[in-house]
Chain A
Amino acid sequence: GNSVTQMEGPVTLSEEAFLTINCTYTATGYPSLFWYVQYPGEGLQLLLKATKADDKGSNKGFEATYRKETTSFHLEKGSVQVSDSAVYFCALRYQAGTALIFGKGTTLSVSS
């Protein structure tokens, strides 16, 4: 079946460190891939997305590249800030109009 696997958290970094949160997926066909972020006390917000192989989604300094050969969509940021502390969810949609399938989420904690 279709599923998403994320690296276990929490991830604890110092400000300005490099961030990678791994995400791999299993899906039939060619899914669309997403990263959502949940700041404390808030709902999930779309961070970035990619709809086909080799697409790169980017937003707020975060990037992720859709790698079909490795079925991955790892989230990266070159220099994290304290305000990036949140829970990050990788998700896929295997077909237009169907529901998102989420990973467990990875908690990021950035200290100054």
Chain B
Amino acid sequence: EPEVTQTPSHQVTQMGQEVILRCVPISNHLYFYWYRQILGQKVEFLVSFYNNEISEKSEIFDDQFSVERPDGSNFTLKIRSTKLEDSAMYFCASKALNSPLHFGNGTRLTVT
């Protein structure tokens, strides 16, 4: 069964550094999402992406965050200048029209 893959599984970075989290969605999917979960907290929506543009974003997704689909297969989340509070598990998800969301296994980001 096709699946969403995320790399790396764990990323450690220093405060103020830029990080890029990578995702390969399922190949025929058209809608792409990033969610995050701070330890012990809710799974929070960050952004959705369709037709090469952001279709919806939450208050969390400020100017420090950006998404890109650079080559038609990858879907990346960039955090320009990481803060301690960005430490969380980041989940990528994708879906086709009228299908459920398929999630990746997540990338654990630790900011020190």
Contact = CB atoms under 8 A, between A and B. Distances in A.
Query: Chain B's interface: helix, strand, loop or mixed, by majority?
Result: strand
Given A43-B4, A43-B105, A102 B100 contact: no
Nearest to B55: A97
Nearest to A6: B42
Interface in A54-112: 89, 91, 97-105
A36 B35 CA distance: 14
A45 B42 contact: no
Contacts of A105: 37, 42-43
Q: Give the interface residue-count category, chain B.
A: 20 to 34
Interface in A35-63: 36, 41-46, 49
A102 B56 contact: no
A98 B102 CA distance: 15
A56 to B, nearest CB: 17
Nearest to B3: A43
A103 B102 CA distance: 18
A98 B55 CA distance: 9
B56 A98 contact: yes
B103 interface: yes
B45 A101 contact: yes
Contact of B42 (A41, A46, A104): A104
A45 B33 CA distance: 15
B101 interface: yes
Contacts of A101: 45
B42 A103 contact: yes
The 7 closest A-B pairs by CB, nearest first: A43-B103, A102-B43, A99-B45, A44-B103, A46-B100, A43-B105, A104-B42
Interface of B: 3-4, 33, 35, 37, 40-45, 48, 55-56, 58, 91, 93, 100-106
